[in-house]
Amino acid sequence: MSSMIIVMSRDALQSDIDGVVERLRSVGSDAHVSVGQTRTVVGAIGEREAIQQIPWEAMPGVERAVPVLRSFKFVSRDFQAEDTVVEVRGVRVGDPTLFVPIAGPCAVESRDQLFRTAEAVKKAGARILRGDAFKPRTSPYAFQGLGEAGLEMLAAAREELDMPFVAEVLDPRDVALVASYADILRVGTRNMANFTLLQEVGRQKKPVQLKRGLTATLEEWLNAAEYIYKEGNHQVIMVERGIRTFETASRNTLDITAVPLLRMLSHLPVIVDPSHSGGKRELVEPLGLAAVAAGADGIMVDVHPTPDTALVDGAQALLPAEWESMMDRVRAVAGAVGRTC
Ligand code: PEP
Ligand code: MN
């Protein structure tokens, strides 16, 4: 497989663009048209020989044709220069003037725990609620989540608070179920390279948060995003959540460098999860502020009303009051880098 970007000239006509698309389809290639502010580009993915033999630059309205050499194509910045903005119930993730705080419990444990947390995080500025009904646990004996009952509670919180929610989906067999409730599906760290799950979420109409695998390179992670994108779902949000290194003082090592690098390599929004990165309450705010400063489009933070009784990840959960004071500083840093939240 090979890919090429066909950059149309500023004054290209719609018929010129249609001509390029038809020509690509005639050689069995996929054509992906993206209309930018000043010009349109057509991305082609197909057989190298077939695409390259066409004298693109001789076609009307074509300015130039550039091969994409990276292993990931559609999600690369070469393919689309403009930032992708994922819009969920009026919340815009990926808009460079905005910063999107996401917060909530790691797992839904009860209606009371969920509603107490959701009300508090929203009051302090969260725009999206997090909360999982299916949990990937290291031990098979640990709490696995409430399943569909948890999704029902999340949907009730959404309606009551007018706040979209994101929830993890672990199994390709549960994708339709989770998608029927959640506003955003999440593929977690342990499943980043579960290609059947990626394809299944790629067939849904709901946005997908894609967490970075524990030992995944940026190229592997972007290829995982490519699996989703290629199936037709272009609403992918990348989530850096720390990687496994030799360091044992924190749960994982937040790779802050991934934020500006992803911006260069890809047009997809990127957010940071400082809770699963550090794994400790005291680390959440400094890592979260670093994410804002580094140019992330949002953060996703674990909050729990009583972390000492939490069934999952209590050590990294902020109390609602801690989230509130963190949000004051998040707003200040976001303002310093030209974003509002
Ligand atoms: C989570 O966000 O609750 C979670 C399980 O995270 P990760 O996949 O990053 O470990
Ligand atoms: Mn967790």
pLDDT tens-digit series, residues 160-175: 999 999 999 999 999 9
Rounded to 5 degrees, φ, ψ at 327 are -60, -30
Same domain, 254 and 302: yes
Residue 69 has what pLDDT? 84
Task: Classify residue 74: in a domain, yes or no.
Answer: no
Q: What is the reported pTM? A: 0.92
194: confidence class by pLDDT, cuts 50, 70, 90: very high
- Ligand 1: does its nearest atom lie under 6 Å from the Cβ of 211? yes
- How far, in Å, is the centroid of ligand 2 from the Cα of 184? 17
pLDDT tens-digit series, residues 88-102: 999 999 999 999 999
Task: Classify residue 243: in a domain, yes or no.
Answer: yes
State the CATH number of the domain containing residue 140.
3.20.20.70
Q: Give the integer Cα–Cα distance in Å for 4 and 43.
A: 6
116: confidence class by pLDDT, cuts 50, 70, 90: very high
Give the count of domains, the chain.
2
Same domain, 140 and 24: no
Q: Give the integer Cα–Cα distance in Å for 172 and 167.
A: 14
Altogether, the residues listed in the chain come to a count of 341
Same domain, 30 and 127: no
**Mean pLDDT, range 325-340, rounded to an integer:** 98
Same domain, 39 and 90: no
Task: Classify residue 172: in a domain, yes or no.
Answer: yes
Same domain, 260 and 136: yes
287, pLDDT greater than 80: yes
Q: Give the integer Cα–Cα distance in Å for 244 and 70.
A: 25
Task: Classify residue 275: in a domain, yes or no.
Answer: yes
- How far, in Å, is the centroid of ligand 1 from the Cα of 234? 22
Please give, one letter per residue, the 3-state secondary structure of the chain: CEEEEEEECCCCCHHHHHHHHHHHHHCCCEEEEEECCCCEEEEEEECHHHHHCCCHHHCCCEEEEEEECCCCCCCECCCCCCCCCEEECCEEECCCCECEEEEECCECCCHHHHHHHHHHHHHCCCCEEECECCCCCCCCCCCCCCCHHHHHHHHHHHHHHCCCEEEECCCHHHHHHHHHHCCEEEECHHHCCCHHHHHHHHCCCCCEEEECCCCCCHHHHHHHHHHHHHCCCCCEEEEECCECCCCCCCCCECCCCHHHHHHHHECCCEEECHHHHHCCHHHHHHHHHHHHHHCCCEEEEEECCCHHHCCCCHHHCECHHHHHHHHHHHHHHHHHCCCEC
Same domain, 96 and 20: no
Lowest mean pLDDT among 49-58, 188-197, 259-268: 49-58
State the CATH number of the domain containing residue 63.
3.30.70.1140
Residue 314 has what pLDDT? 94
Task: Classify residue 73: in a domain, yes or no.
Answer: no
2: confidence class by pLDDT, cuts 50, 70, 90: confident
- How far, in Å, is the centroid of ligand 2 from the Cα of 276? 6
Residue 21 has what pLDDT? 96
36, pLDDT greater than 80: no
Task: Classify residue 253: in a domain, yes or no.
Answer: yes
In terms of residue numbers, what domain contains 41? 2-67
- Ligand 1: does its nearest atom lie under 6 Å from the Cβ of 241? yes
1, pLDDT greater than 90: no
Residue 78 has what pLDDT? 85
Residue 326 has what pLDDT? 98
Same domain, 21 and 168: no
- Ligand 1: does its nearest atom lie under 6 Å from the Cβ of 189? yes
Task: Classify residue 72: in a domain, yes or no.
Answer: no
Pocket test for ligand 1, best of 273, 277, 299, 302 (most atoms within 8 A of CB): 273
Same domain, 7 and 103: no
297: confidence class by pLDDT, cuts 50, 70, 90: very high
Task: Classify residue 147: in a domain, yes or no.
Answer: yes
Same domain, 216 and 257: yes
Same domain, 119 and 223: yes
- How far, in Å, is the centroid of ligand 2 from the Cα of 193? 19
- Ligand 1: does its nearest atom lie under 6 Å from the Cβ of 130? no
pLDDT tens-digit series, residues 43-84: 888 888 889 889 999 999 999 998 888 889 889 998 888 999
pLDDT tens-digit series, residues 201-211: 999 999 999 99
